Structure 1
């Protein structure tokens, strides 16, 4: 019986146990906290039927006003550095920033964090423009069912995403893909995902559970069951022992974290950092990691690591640093 059959036959706990043996063998002892940094709330495509940005296209009259201020972006990166968080990737909708602008932002983040940053900016032909400020490129595959992908994400061709990832490999960049569970896929579709990872030599996979946004066709849908989610992650860990796995969950599903880590997650993501810092929710994240026996890189509770109200990188960031820290402290007792 293969791994997919075990999911279908409700043998997910067995998959999780087998995945944990791989985790121990590979020495996956540290869990990272990951945060996507958004560049804009605008996407020129705006037709992915699950996405919040699809509800904004007709509301935003001037896309330039949906762009975040660059000092705010860099201040967020600086605080991630202080708190020991990884930057999951820079994320922006199509045509929100020009390539030159994204490269400049990535360069400044590289100076702050001393690490290259991942990109998740859609299908791009400009990868040659980037250098050491970029560690890798993320393709928004979104679902493990190709027919479903064409329906849900009509403007993001899987072939074009694959070609971009192959080009990234040729240029020496790492490759990642994102997958959202709960869009209508079935366990049988995992085989397509496995082939896609092999075909494009993927280094990193980021799983999310569906977040049903109001105004989308999924607004009344349920998030995927925790053991199904864990079973899918365990299957990927068992099939690809050395791949990096990041798992996203939401504040109403923090109990997913422990099983996802045992299933193979190397990092966890999708948290409102400054709203959760120092709260019972932030503490719960740390407890979930603790009871898996892993060491957590980064903090959700150590107020001292917030540091000074001024930037150590550029004084233009000071007002945003102060705002973010004050927001974190204001939420501390909630």
Structure 2
């Protein structure tokens, strides 16, 4: 494919220019802030080689203690609504909550935000249990190379993931996948990724760059080069002009944001929201979006938005804790 050849020939800037044109033509000028809400810090499989959860089993004697309080989850959803953030998806390791519990949580979030949620809860055969509270289903493909996938994510069969997504489509749900760059893939593996997006009629792709975690085999592995990351996103945008693309970056790589937006990102994710809100790091995100010529949906700096909510009864103490996390910082200096 021509876009893969350009990436391999270090013609990334050419890809970015074309991708930016296509994004502005096929999408709004708006960049969303996306928040993955975690349900639990436990996974009964726990063998994805890059994931910190693969280091948790020896340390957690009772998996139920790793489950979040439901009121805390709902309070986080309410704060996202107030700040204008999207809930990217609900995410949790295998075995953390039952299908009926996840459905109930999703329904309560739907009532709060008035928006159905996406799920990223692993491979499940229970999709028929969900209804209007769910917008779409995310498959954690992770590595755009089948052989590497089997080695790095041995308990998450690609066949099972793709079968789940096909069922999701038959049931009327949107479909998404997640991809982590820096796990050993090469530009040639984009051909597999593009075929997957096309064959499954994927609506959204979330890209991440490797975040090396202590005690994993990637602990000393550097994160992928910024222009490689941007080039992969740009190549994907060029191949799929109408695809929704969300890009994750880390607090130590905020300078990636501008190039990723110019490469075709519609949304940004993977931020420690309550640690960054109202700090110079949050303001940096807003500046990156501004200097990319885009309009930001949501805020990292508007303290007044925290008060924009009704009385939610038993959720109020949990909401207050999150607000306190945001307020107990030095005000931003313009």
Same fold (TM over 0.5): yes
Q: Is the 8 A contact 2:27 2:242 kept in 1?
A: no
Q: For 1:217-251, what per-residue CA distance to the aligned partner results, in whole angstroms no more than 9, with x for missing partners?
A: 10101111110000000011000000000000000
- Return the alpha-carbon distance in structure 1 between the equivalents of residues 28 and 267 of structure 2: 10
Q: Is the 8 A contact 1:166 1:200 kept in 2?
A: yes
The residue number in structure 1 matching 2:313 is 315
Structure 2: segments with no counterpart, 5+ residues: none
Matches within 5 A, 1:48-87: 48-87=48-87
Q: For 1:111-139, what per-residue CA distance to the aligned partner results, in whole angstroms no more than 9, with x for missing partners?
A: 00000000000000000000000000000
Q: Per-residue deviation at 1:318?
A: 1.4
Q: For 1:267-294, what per-residue CA distance to the aligned partner results, in whole angstroms no more than 9, with x for missing partners?
A: 0000000100010000000000001111
The residue number in structure 2 matching 1:38 is 38
The residue number in structure 2 matching 1:295 is 295
Q: Per-residue deviation at 1:316?
A: 1.4
The residue number in structure 2 matching 1:127 is 127
- Return the alpha-carbon distance in structure 2 between the equivalents of residues 57 and 277 of structure 1: 32
Task: Give TM-score, length-normalised by structure 2.
Answer: 0.98
Q: Is the 8 A contact 1:277 1:332 kept in 2?
A: no
- Return the alpha-carbon distance in structure 1 between the equivalents of residues 152 and 208 of structure 2: 16
The residue number in structure 1 matching 2:178 is 178
Q: Per-residue deviation at 1:319?
A: 1.5
Q: Per-residue deviation at 1:314?
A: 2.9
Q: Does 1:188 align with 2:188?
A: yes
> How many residues were matched structurally?
332
Matches within 5 A, 1:1-334: 2-307=2-307, 312=310, 314-333=312-331
Task: Identify if the C-alpha distance between structure 1 residues 199 and 332 changes in structure 2 by more than 3 Å, giving closer, same or farther.
Answer: farther
Q: Per-residue deviation at 1:332?
A: 4.2
| Partner SS, residue 257 of structure 1 | helix
Q: Per-residue deviation at 1:315?
A: 1.5
Structure 1: segments with no counterpart, 5+ residues: none
Q: Is the 8 A contact 1:275 1:331 kept in 2?
A: no
- Return the alpha-carbon distance in structure 2 between the equivalents of residues 166 and 83 of structure 1: 34
Q: Per-residue deviation at 1:313?
A: 5.8
Task: Give TM-score, length-normalised by structure 1.
Answer: 0.98
